[in-house]
């Protein structure tokens, strides 16, 4: 039997299949989710469910669905779906949702992302603890009538929704390479770009949850190698790297150099603010300083957020924000039910390139103004004391604890926070020059080394 404590994370349910997540636990999660929804709103009658291309997603979703329909709720089965398509379905239909995916994790993993009606997130602090508790309780209640299951197809509707964020006719004569990594981008990318008058080549389009070519994790620079080579060999204007469930995207310029999530956030923010100059735009606290600078320079209101989709979506609702971006490649749009979508962000950048009639390598220059370490991850044996020790080292600087420890100086800043998904501490450091960056990094590494269990794991996506 799977261990509930192991698979319930901060934002979703995820683990090794079948060692940690199996059919039995998925049926219990389905039942618990239905009970949770009925507690929140007794009028709830439907749940939309989607799956990714992993071989285990079919059987796990069937058991989950069994748990839901036993409580009398009907299932709208979306079938193969990207995560952003599931959020769209939840939003446009006004029903809660669940998608079976382990996102960028390797083939042996699977999981479940849950949301309330209109794509409102279910995570830590917004209902996931309650669902976990209900999973642990025995419940013998049965509905008078078992719910029904109906198949639906929203790919065309989702495609038109995505295209509504841009004028696709402006994205003309661009040479685009997209690496969908055998993930769900292989479903949505061809459908969307069929309506864009540019040339696109798709790498690893076939849906294959064994990921035969490379892992579907674009944060790992090694997984970008094939895309970079193809962009350079074909003299493409841009490369798009999607993760396994296609809710994230990373861009490659025509020189084969990746853009960070912060640079993409800045570009998308500037484009959105050109249409709505008074809009509120949210950035998480590990985004480059260039992001709030761009927001303010273009008439927007910049709001700083904790890392993670549940925090960002909640803050978007509270501030009526038009857009939010994360350094990790998640981009959220008010008109997308405040949900993240990699392909919407990609289209906005492509349109921005066309409007400016300049290569991406040139356009990005104004946003690559700081020197960053990228994200460096450490396995730490005493995270609480580590943060206290580092805070004491920098008592003369501005410190805050919105999410971990952030220290701000006039020429640099860093954030050190616990991962929400892995047993790691994550360091992000940025400075006005490489010399300053390396000086502060040496100080931090000297302190961290006494708490470290293993070598640092560096994310090279800057």
Which residue numbers are catalytic? 103
Q: Per the structure block, which two tokens stand in for 214?
A: 């490379």
How remote is the C-alpha of 18 from its chain's centroid?
25
**288 Cβ partners below 8 Å, 6+ apart?**
260, 262, 263, 266, 327, 367, 370, 372, 430
Residue count of the chain, please give it.
Answer: 462
118 DSSP β-pair partners: none
- Local structure of residue 449 (DSSP, 8 states): G
Pairing type for strands 301-305 and 238-242 reads: unpaired
Residue 51: which of 62, 40, 41 has the closest Cα? 62
Residue 235 main-chain phi, psi, to 5 deg: 55, 45
How remote is the C-alpha of 379 from its chain's centroid?
23
Class of residue 75 by CB neighbours under 10 A (exposed 0-12, middle 13-18, buried 19+): buried
Class of residue 447 by CB neighbours under 10 A (exposed 0-12, middle 13-18, buried 19+): middle
* 229, 203 Cβ separation under 8 angstroms: no
Alpha helices, DSSP H only, in 70-153? 83-93, 128-136
- Local structure of residue 450 (DSSP, 8 states): G
Distance, first Cα to last Cα, the chain: 40
* 21, 7 Cβ separation under 8 angstroms: yes
SS3 341: coil
Q: Per the structure block, which two tokens stand in for 276?
A: 């709505």
């Amino acid at each position: 039997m799977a261990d509930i404590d192991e698979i319930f994370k901060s934002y979703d349910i995820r683990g090794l299949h079948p060692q940690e997540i199996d059919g039995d636990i998925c049926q219990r999660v389905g039942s618990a989710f239905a009970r949770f929804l009925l507690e929140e709103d007794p009028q709830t009658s439907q749940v939309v469910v989607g799956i990714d291309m992993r071989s285990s997603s079919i059987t796990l979703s069937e058991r989950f669905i069994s748990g839901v329909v036993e409580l009398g709720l009907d299932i709208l089965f979306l079938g193969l779906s990207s995560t952003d398509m599931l959020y769209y379905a939840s939003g446009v239909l006004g029903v809660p949702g669940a998608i079976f995916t382990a996102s960028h994790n390797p083939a042996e993993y699977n999981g479940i992302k849950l949301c309330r009606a209109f794509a409102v997130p279910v995570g830590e602090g917004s209902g996931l603890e309650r669902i976990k508790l209900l999973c642990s309780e025995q419940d013998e209640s049965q509905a008078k009538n078992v719910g029904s299951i109906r198949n639906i197809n929203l790919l065309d509707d989702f495609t038109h929704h995505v295209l509504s964020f841009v004028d696709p006719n402006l994205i003309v004569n661009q040479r685009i390479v997209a690496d969908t990594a055998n993930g769900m981008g292989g479903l949505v990318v061809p459908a969307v770009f069929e309506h864009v008058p540019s040339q696109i080549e798709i790498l690893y389009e076939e849906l294959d949850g064994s990921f035969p070519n490379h892992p579907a994790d674009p944060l790992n620079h090694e997984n970008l190698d094939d895309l970079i080579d193809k962009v350079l060999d074909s003299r493409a204007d841009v490369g798009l790297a999607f993760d396994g469930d296609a809710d994230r995207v990373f861009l490659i310029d025509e020189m084969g150099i990746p853009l960070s999530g912060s640079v993409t956030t800045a570009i998308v923010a500037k484009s959105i603010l050109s249409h709505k100059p008074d809009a509120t735009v949210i950035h998480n606290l590990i985004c480059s300083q260039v992001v709030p600078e761009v927001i303010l320079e273009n008439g927007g209101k910049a709001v700083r957020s904790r890392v993670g989709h549940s925090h960002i979506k909640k803050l978007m609702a509270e501030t009526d924000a038009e857009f939010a971006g994360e350094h990790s490649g998640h981009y959220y749009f008010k008109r997308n039910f405040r949900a993240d979508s990699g392909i919407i962000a990609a289209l906005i950048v492509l349109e921005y390139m066309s409007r400016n009639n300049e290569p991406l390598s040139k356009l990005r220059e104004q946003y690559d103004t700081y020197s960053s370490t990228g994200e460096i991850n450490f396995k730490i044996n005493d995270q609480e004391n580590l943060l206290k020790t580092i805070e004491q080292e920098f008592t003369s600087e501005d410190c805050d604890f919105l999410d971990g420890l952030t220290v701000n100086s006039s020429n640099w800043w860093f954030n050190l926070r616990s991962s929400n998904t892995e047993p790691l501490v994550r360091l992000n450091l940025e400075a006005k020059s490489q010399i300053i960056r390396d000086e502060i990094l040496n100080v931090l590494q000297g302190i961290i080394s006494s708490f470290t269990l293993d070598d640092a794991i560096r994310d090279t996506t800057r």
